[in-house]
Amino acid sequence: MKAVVLDRYGNNDGVRVGEMPEPELRDDDVLVQIHAASVNPLDLRIRDGKLKPILPYRLPIVLGNDLAGVVVRVGPGVRRLKPGDEVYARPAQERIGTFAEFLSVNEDDVAIKPRELTMEEASSVPLVGLTAWQALIENANLQAGQKVLIHAGSGGVGTFAIQLAKHLGATVATTTSTANAEWVKRLGADIVIDYKKDDFAEILHDYDLVLDTLGGETLEKSLRVLGPGGKVISVAGPPDPALAREAGLNWIVQQVMCLMSFRIRRKAKQRKVTYSFLLMKSSGRQLRELASLIDAGVIRPVVDRVFPFEATKEALAYVEQGRAKGKVVVKVR
């Protein structure tokens, strides 16, 4: 099958379109013929080798972290899905490879795709949708009347998280550029801060939650907008010891992560708030919940551009520029 393969870590020079063997089908797997897959910053971090301590892949691997397509075969243990079903999924982290014609995915990680969406739109949802769901609902238990700051509101996670937080009844603030200010308001943001003109940490106070997608200085400043007991959940900051323990990583890696996140955790403790790193997990159940919200018109995915499969390297380079509004998709079939 055709696939986008990572031969060596570093940059796009280590990425090629080539032939790979069709994946094997385990008892609880469905084999999906992939119609579309979306590009995520996670793909860039894997490509660059930044996640090797957490995700020690053996190269070469096929890149790609979410998909939409059609089930063509099922393992003997599969009970919920059948050939012909139109599905979407975020495969388990150790079984990525959606930039390809086929992928075997555990049935528990797959859901029927939202009926209102095209394959391209559906493929844009799983990773960012699950990230927003697990940050806002599972980890933070965001409630109506609470206040949340979502960084980079025009990005893939941001566009989804704004809509979900608004659905939950929260007051939503976000950061974006001047060009996208009115647009993120239409998505549901109550307060929009132009990061080029204003300092969000000087404007926002006593927030319950910050969803950080940027890391670095933005993450540190985010602690200042929280009230006592507030939380910052980051998908871009340093991994914390809780993640290392949960992932079953060895003692040495746990200590490395403890050191990496020591400074931000100490600063959070001084302010009587908490810091945690989110490594999103696959969940077909949560994708079914998200499909219900999408089909009900509560959330709509935002697709910036669709690239042909042969131009996947160009799609990666485009996402790397950091200017996409919403998601970037690769049309596989």
Q: Across the 333 residues of the chain, what is the mean pLDDT of every consecutive 10-residue run? A: 97 97 97 98 95 87 98 98 98 96 98 97 98 98 98 96 98 96 97 96 98 96 98 93 75 82 95 95 98 97 97 97 94 96
Identify the pLDDT of residue 210: 98
pLDDT at residue 219, rounded to an integer: 97
Q: Specify the pLDDT at position 254.
A: 79
Angle made by CA atoms 233, 235, 236, in degrees to the nearest 5:
115
Res 100: pLDDT: 98
**pLDDT score, position 55:** 83
2-124+301-331: CATH topology is: Quinone Oxidoreductase; Chain A, domain 1 (3.90.180)
Identify the pLDDT of residue 287.
98
> What are the tokens at 116?
């209102």
What is the CATH code for 128-277?
3.40.50.720
Domains in the chain: boundaries: 2-124+301-331, 128-277
Q: H/E/C letters for each residue in the chain?
A: CEEEEECCCCCHHHEEEEECCCCCCCCCEEEEEEEEEEECHHHHHHHHCCCCCCCCCCCCEECCCCEEEEEEEECCCCCCCCCCCEEEECCCHHHCCCCECEEEEEHHHEEECCCCCCHHHHHCCHHHHHHHHHHHHHHCCCCCCCEEEECCCCCHHHHHHHHHHHHCCCEEEEEECHHHHHHHHHHCCCEEEECCCCCHHHHCCCEEEEEECCCHHHHHHHHHHEEEEEEEEECCCCCCHHHHHHCCCCHHHHHHHHHHCHHHHHHHHHCCCEEEECCCCCCHHHHHHHHHHHHCCCCCCCEEEEEEHHHHHHHHHHHHCCCCCCEEEEECC
